[in-house]
Chains A and B, each alone.
Chain A
Amino acid sequence: MRETPNALKILLEERERGLQSIPAELVKTIYQIEVRVQFDEMRPEAPQKIRQALKIVLDKEALEGASNGNAF
């Protein structure tokens, strides 16, 4: 049974093509944030939530001592 094209699946596949420096979790998180509010006229929550998600990733990397441009 053929699957419906899935935006998330495509995002993760494209990530494998040279954009592995982006944590997969982050991609998932951002996508889900947007999907939840995609039909609202006003989406005040989304940019803030994205900012938060990015902060979490950066904090995590700082803790783990990661440096620029390393692949994950």
Chain B
Amino acid sequence: MGMRFKELEMHNFGPYLGTQSLSFGIKRPLMLVHGPNMTGKTSLLNAIRWALYGHALNRFGKPMTLMHLINSEAYESRDWIMSVEVSFEVDGIQYNLERRIQPKDSSIPPRVDNDFEVKLFLRRDGRHLDAGEVQTEINRILPEQTSRFFLFDGELLNEYETLLATADKQATLIKESIEHILGVPALMNAIADLMTHLRDAARRQQNLAKQDHKAQIYAAEAARIESEIATQEKDLAELRVHHEGLERRQNDLDDTLQAVAGIEADVIRLQDLENQVRGLRDEQQRLRQENRDKLTDAWRDIIQPKIQRHLAILEEESNKQINTLQRVGQLQTELRNIEHLLTLGVCPVCGQRQTESSFPGYQTRKNELEDEFAGLEFDQQRLTQASESIRKLREVKPSYAIETVTNNEKRLLRIGVDLADLEWKIDEINDRLKSHDRSEIARNRRTYIEVTKELGILEKAITEKKRVIDGLQDQASRNRANISAVSGPEMQRLNREVQLCEDLTSLFARAIVRLRDDLRKSVEQDATDIFLRLTTDKSYKGLRINEHYGLTIIGADDREVEVRSAGAEQVVALSLIGALNRNAIRQGPIIMDTPFGRLDPKHRENILKFIPTMAEQVTLLVHGGEIDRSRDLEGIKDQIDKEYEINHPSSRRSELVTVGALDTV
């Protein structure tokens, strides 16, 4: 038997404008809804959650307000009614649940959740339940605590395992949820009820014993012990309340401190960055000043190329004149010598007599020289001028300042870039820091340490108190035995009653220990079976379970596998879900949102084959990239009853559309 969903109808819920509905798999186990992310798959999950428990969760697992849930287009067109209707079947009984909200005053637009009134209707086999009974009935069928095991978000599967691996508050809650599914509470409740009854019977015993003189002493003693136990239990209850309160405070502080863990590091970094900026700005100022100073003389360097060009021309002219002058000198000397020779017949240089026959040669030479002489033009003025110009131009000497300026400019460019980068980083850090008050952080840290210390002390006190109470219970039990020794049929019956309660309490206590153990082993065995079917790594031997229902993978050498891929995490979590479902008192339907997010094709294939066997009814909400309809669904198409697609005509609206059977696609 078990439970199955039948139909879901939503009106103005989340992205679904107007009325949208779908049917679950009845003839066959599987129903699929395809849709891209952010178009409404998670809203389907939330619709069911909201209908059943009045809570819908956002991406971060936090509750959403009604104002956020109601479709925004509907709201703007003044349609302020939102509802979800779910029909389901439990052990053959037909249920129809509707949760609806409407404005308290239909003429004013509701602005906060309080402006709405919530109505809840539940029909069982056609008959309406009283308003007060509805939520109780729902919790009886599908308790909210256990909803995380049948309405779950595939994306969170990864975190699931990490949660179970630690022993903190969250893990304890999950462990309690698991035990809930597996029926452990029934036994614990039985013990509590039996102990209450035991105390009542013991009291009646005492009253009866008061009538017998011998037993009076024991009765008095019993009364004293009981009064003492009552006082101690009251103290214990107070200690527990105090402890709970402190634990909550500690968790809050822990959350706050976690959030600001990075702050101190930021402060140090900020100081370092600011120092760097100061250093660079100083250098910037220094270089800029140096450049200004150098530019006073840099004009001389700028002008050098032009000056050099002019100097080149002037020097050429100057050299030309000097060469001409030199040649003039040479010619004059030689002409004089020839004149002398021709006139006196003696060489002026060596003093020797020259023969008359050499005279024509000399004469010719003399003519040549005189011709050359006539052609030479020496301009003294031009030479003087050129020299003067050269002198003046050379007055403007290079200063080489321009080289320094150039290098400084390069460095300044670099500094500009570095400063911009540093300033951007500083802004980032300041943004982070400005929302935090540093003295408050220090205070929180101190308080956290104090609270932790106090918790330690409290825990010791609680343990001690429990020990004292146990001691007193033992005393009470021994005392009862004494009372029982007093005979009489009425007393005998009372004795028997007390005995039964004590024995039953023992029995149930023993049973709890064994049940937890057996259940864990059974869940471990089932989870291992499933895991080995799903995993693609042949070296894995199985799974091992710890006392918090956390699972570790056992590898080839019988050792725990430490590092697990995201895909392995999902597979382990799915194995746990499947195992829990098999061991649960009542089998429930399963609705999974993006179960294949992080899995490779081979894992996906294994899981697709396994899913229809996980429960009587399995609904998958998948996005396009996860499943290739033509390829992945081929192997299980005969298990699929219905298929839907989410259309997204606008950013604020989605629609559910039936998809034809796989064969006709």
Residues of chain A having any CB pair with chain B under 8 Å = 2, 4-5, 7, 10-11, 14-15, 19, 21-22, 26-27, 30-31, 34-35, 37-43, 46-47, 50-51, 54, 57-58, 61-62, 67-69
Distance of A26 Cα from B183 Cα, bound (Å): 19
A-B contacts at CB below 8 angstroms, number: 106
Q: 4 closest pairs, A vs B, by CB? A: A5-B518, A34-B186, A38-B186, A39-B143
> Is there an interface contact between A15 and B497, defined as CB atoms closer than 8 Å?
no
14 contacts between A and B (CB under 8 A): A2-B525, A5-B521, A5-B583, A10-B514, A11-B511, A21-B500, A22-B503, A35-B183, A39-B180, A40-B140, A51-B197, A61-B496, A62-B489, A68-B492
Q: Which residues of B are found within 8 Å of A2, using beta-carbon distances?
A: 522, 525
Chain A min CB distance to B288 (Å): 77
When C-beta atoms are compared, the residue in chain B nearest to A42 turns out to be: B136
List the one stretch of B58-66, B120-128, B187-195, B301-309 in contact with chain A: B187-195
Q: Which residues of A are found within 8 Å of B185, using beta-carbon distances?
A: 38-39
> Is there an interface contact between A35 and B493, defined as CB atoms closer than 8 Å?
no
Chain B min CB distance to A62 (Å): 6
Chain A interface, >50% SS class? helix
Distance of A36 Cα from B515 Cα, bound (Å): 18
Chain B min CB distance to A20 (Å): 10
> Is there an interface contact between A39 and B508, defined as CB atoms closer than 8 Å?
no
With contact pairs A5-B583, A27-B504 given, residues A34 and B193 touching in the complex (Cβ less than 8 Å): yes
Distance of A38 Cα from B191 Cα, bound (Å): 12
> Is there an interface contact between B187 and A4, defined as CB atoms closer than 8 Å?
no
Q: Which residues of B are found within 8 Å of A27, using beta-carbon distances?
A: 504, 507
Chain B min CB distance to A6 (Å): 9
Q: Which residues of B are found within 8 Å of A54, using beta-carbon distances?
A: 197, 497, 500-501
Q: Which residues of B are found within 8 Å of A38, using beta-carbon distances?
A: 180, 183, 185-186, 189
Chain A min CB distance to B268 (Å): 51
Distance of A21 Cα from B582 Cα, bound (Å): 34
When C-beta atoms are compared, the residue in chain A nearest to B194 turns out to be: A50
Chain A min CB distance to B209 (Å): 16
Distance of A11 Cα from B518 Cα, bound (Å): 12
Distance of A21 Cα from B500 Cα, bound (Å): 8
Q: Which residues of A are found within 8 Å of B184, using beta-carbon distances?
A: 7
- B462 interface hit (Cβ, 8 Å): no
Q: Which residues of A are found within 8 Å of B489, using beta-carbon distances?
A: 62
With contact pairs A14-B514, A31-B186 given, residues A5 and B522 touching in the complex (Cβ less than 8 Å): yes
Q: How many residues of B contact A (CB 8 A)?
A: 43
Distance of A46 Cα from B190 Cα, bound (Å): 9
- B506 interface hit (Cβ, 8 Å): yes
Chain B min CB distance to A43 (Å): 7
Chain A min CB distance to B417 (Å): 66
> Is there an interface contact between B492 and A15, defined as CB atoms closer than 8 Å?
no
Distance of A15 Cα from B500 Cα, bound (Å): 12
With contact pairs A34-B189, A40-B139 given, residues A10 and B515 touching in the complex (Cβ less than 8 Å): yes
Q: Which residues of B are found within 8 Å of A21, using beta-carbon distances?
A: 499-500, 503
Highest count of chain A CB atoms <10 Å: which of B140, B510, B519: B510
Distance of A15 Cα from B503 Cα, bound (Å): 9
With contact pairs A21-B499, A38-B183, A51-B197 given, residues A15 and B583 touching in the complex (Cβ less than 8 Å): no
With contact pairs A4-B522, A19-B506, A26-B504 given, residues A68 and B496 touching in the complex (Cβ less than 8 Å): yes
> Is there an interface contact between A47 and B193, defined as CB atoms closer than 8 Å?
yes
Distance of A54 Cα from B501 Cα, bound (Å): 9
When C-beta atoms are compared, the residue in chain B nearest to A21 turns out to be: B503
Q: Which residues of A are found within 8 Å of B189, using beta-carbon distances?
A: 34, 37-38, 43, 46
Contact with A along B107-121 (1 / 0, CB 8 A): 000000000000000
Extra contacts besides A26-B504, A35-B585, A47-B193 (9): CB < 8 Å: A4-B522, A4-B582, A7-B183, A10-B515, A30-B504, A37-B140, A38-B185, A61-B496, A68-B499
> Is there an interface contact between A47 and B196, defined as CB atoms closer than 8 Å?
yes
- B495 interface hit (Cβ, 8 Å): yes
Highest count of chain A CB atoms <10 Å: which of B184, B186, B499, B510: B186
Chain A min CB distance to B502 (Å): 10
Distance of A42 Cα from B180 Cα, bound (Å): 15
Distance of A41 Cα from B511 Cα, bound (Å): 23
Chain B min CB distance to A5 (Å): 4
Chain A min CB distance to B384 (Å): 122
When C-beta atoms are compared, the residue in chain B nearest to A17 turns out to be: B510
Distance of A2 Cα from B495 Cα, bound (Å): 42
> Is there an interface contact between B500 and A7, defined as CB atoms closer than 8 Å?
no
Pick from B495, B500, B583: contact of A26, CB under 8 Å? B500
Q: Which residues of A are found within 8 Å of B515, using beta-carbon distances?
A: 5, 7, 10
Distance of A30 Cα from B501 Cα, bound (Å): 11
Contact with A along B180-218 (1 / 0, CB 8 A): 100111110110011011000000000000000000000
Q: Which residues of B are found within 8 Å of A15, using beta-carbon distances?
A: 507
Per the 8 Å Cβ criterion, residues 508-538 of B in contact with A are 508, 510-511, 514-515, 518-519, 521-522, 525
Q: Which residues of B are found within 8 Å of A50, using beta-carbon distances?
A: 190, 193-194, 197
Per the 8 Å Cβ criterion, residues 137-151 of B in contact with A are 139-140, 143
> Is there an interface contact between A58 and B497, defined as CB atoms closer than 8 Å?
yes
> Is there an interface contact between B187 and A7, defined as CB atoms closer than 8 Å?
yes
> Is there an interface contact between A39 and B140, defined as CB atoms closer than 8 Å?
yes
> Is there an interface contact between B511 and A7, defined as CB atoms closer than 8 Å?
yes
Distance of A22 Cα from B515 Cα, bound (Å): 19
> Is there an interface contact between B495 and A14, defined as CB atoms closer than 8 Å?
no
